């Protein structure tokens, strides 16, 4: 099976399976798991932060960040399309008791204006604005440049806000921008990234920030039931991910670009090639012979898994490349698609 639905479908590599078998472990809730400690140490170092916390999922990492940065009744600011707002089941409201002010990013990032106009005045009528949530890359696969990150961060800090970065795929952003991840992560107080996506680890994300922040975040993880015992068994996969899988992201991006280019050559397939910056391809399909259900089942019969439309008004489809999708897989995908359109 070739799975174009997401990079979360990636399987642990042989090196990861070997590392799991050999993992040295201990009780991480007591801080006794050397493998978890090593991964947290590596993560903090790579992001240029003082400390890190290993968490079971990216969602938990983002939510712990919100819980740690805010107080009940606060308001946070986030992109209307962000994962934190759209895809975390409203957890910010349940777990942190905060409201959210969402912003449509007309310029593709939080400009000084976008932030200032959303900060509440110091008045008994209003909640207190305490946190800005950024995302890089964004859910549309596009990155924020270093200058854009800097403007958002500096504006937020000048107005007393904390800044959390959802960097689930921060290595994809760094690869596209051709910078060290530290250069991106310097413009936030906390950053979450996933080892379970394009980096192929089976489970896990890391939340990074100051030592004082991570100390408080550790208690929040316990509250959520995210304290794991011999978690080194999975943490070693994160270590292998950081040691061996980052360079593969470049290939994923090349494959995404190749797929986008091939799709754009098909009549009634609209691809905005400028949008293809990372490993995600977005295409609007208005082909007369195209139908969501029959397309999915045709591809499935040919060992290719795809999602249905992510937007049924614009008829937008998302295809994701990752370790397990090669250049030749893209050719196969295009062949099967053409076969379907010419049926």
Ligand X SMILES: *Cc1c(COP(=O)(O)O)cnc(C)c1O
Shortest Cβ 83–ligand X spacing (Å)? 3
Q: Please, which residue, 25 or 203, has the CB nearer to ligand X?
A: 203
Nearest alpha carbon to residue 43 among 233, 185, 188, 160 = 185
Where does 121-197 show beta strands of DSSP type E?
Answer: 129-135, 162-166, 190-194
Residue 119 or 207 with smaller CB distance to ligand X: 207
DSSP 77-139: EEETT-HHHHSSTTHIIIII--EEEEE--TTSS--HHHHHTTSPPSSTTSPPEEEEEEESS-T
Residue 59, both tokens? 């969602």
Least CB distance to ligand X at residue 135 (A):
5
Q: How far is the CB of 124 from ligand X (least distance, A)?
A: 34
Across-strand partners of 283?
Answer: 317
What residue is closest to ligand X based on CB? 58
Choice between 61 and 232, CB closer to ligand X? 61
Look at residues 53, 86, 89 and name the one whose alpha carbon lies nearest to residue 223. 53
| Least distance in angstroms from the C-beta of 205 to ligand X | 6
CB of 166 to ligand X, least distance (A): 5
Task: Encode 306-317: b = buried (16+ Cβ within 10 Å), e = exposed.
Answer: beebeeeeebeb
Task: Using the minimum distance from each CB to ligand X, give the nearer residue, 190 or 196.
Answer: 196
**Distance (Å, rounded) from C-alpha 83 to C-alpha 87?**
5
Q: How far is the CB of 27 from ligand X (least distance, A)?
A: 24
Question: Minimum distance from CB of 44 to ligand X (Å)?
Answer: 19
Sign of the Cα pseudo-torsion (38, 42, 44, 45, in order): positive
Return the number of the residue (225 or 288) whose C-beta is nearest ligand X. Answer: 225
For residues 193 and 62, give the distance between their C-alpha atoms in angstroms, rounded to a whole number: 9
Where does residue 38 rank: exposed (0-12), middle (13-18), buried (19+ CB within 10 A)?
Answer: middle
Q: Which is nearer to ligand X, 92 or 295 (CB)?
A: 92
Which is nearer to ligand X, 207 or 214 (by Cβ)? 207
Cα 88 from chain centre: 12
**Cβ(163)–Cβ(136) below 8 Å:** no
Residue whose CB is less far from ligand X, 16 or 119: 16
Q: How far is the CB of 60 from ligand X (least distance, A)?
A: 7
Cβ proximity to ligand X: between 139 and 143 the closer is 139
| Shortest spacing between CB 8 and ligand X, in angstroms | 6
Among residues 81, 76, 130, the alpha carbon closest in space to that of 105 is found at 81
CA–CA separation, 270 and 65 (whole Å): 38
Instruction: Please report, as ranges, the residues that interact with ligand X according to CB under 6 A.
Output: 57-59, 62, 83, 135, 139, 166, 168, 194, 196, 205
The rounded distance, in Å, linking the Cα atoms of 125 and 120 is 10
């Amino acid at each position: 099976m070739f799975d174009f639905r997401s990079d979360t479908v990636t399987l642990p590599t042989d090196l990861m399976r070997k590392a799991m078998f050999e993992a040295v472990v201990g009780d991480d809730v007591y801080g006794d798991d050397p493998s978890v400690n090593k991964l947290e140490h590596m993560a903090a170092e790579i992001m240029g932060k003082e400390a890190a916390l290993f968490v079971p999922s990216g969602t938990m990492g983002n939510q712990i960040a919100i819980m740690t940065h805010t107080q009940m009744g606060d308001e946070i600011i986030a992109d209307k399309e962000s994962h934190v707002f759209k895809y975390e089941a409203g957890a910010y409201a349940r777990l942190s008791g905060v409201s959210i002010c969402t912003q449509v990013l007309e310029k593709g990032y939080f400009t000084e204006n976008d932030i200032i106009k959303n900060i509440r005045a110091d008045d008994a009528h209003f909640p207190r604005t305490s946190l800005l949530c950024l995302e890089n890359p964004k859910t549309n696969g596009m990155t924020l440049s270093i200058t854009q990150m800097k403007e958002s961060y500096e504006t937020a800090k000048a107005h007393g806000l904390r800044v959390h970065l959802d960097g689930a795929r921060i290595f994809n952003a760094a690869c596209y921008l051709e910078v060290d991840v530290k250069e991106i992560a310097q413009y936030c107080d906390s950053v979450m990234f996933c080892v379970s996506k394009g980096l192929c680890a089976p489970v896990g994300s890391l939340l990074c920030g100051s030592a004082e922040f991570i100390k408080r975040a550790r208690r929040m993880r316990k509250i959520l039931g995210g304290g794991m015992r011999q978690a080194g068994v999975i943490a070693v996969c994160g270590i292998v991910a950081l040691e061996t899988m980052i360079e593969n992201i470049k290939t994923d991006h090349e494959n995404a670009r190749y797929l986008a280019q091939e799709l754009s050559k098909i009549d009634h397939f609209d691809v905005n090639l400028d949008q293809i910056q990372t490993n995600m391809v977005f295409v609007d399909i208005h082909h007369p012979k195209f139908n969501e259900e029959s397309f999915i089942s045709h591809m499935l019969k040919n060992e290719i898994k795809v999602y249905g439309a992510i937007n049924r008004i614009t008829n937008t489809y998302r295809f994701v490349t990752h370790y397990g999708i090669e250049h030749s897989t893209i050719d196969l995908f295009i062949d099967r698609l053409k076969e379907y359109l010419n049926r």
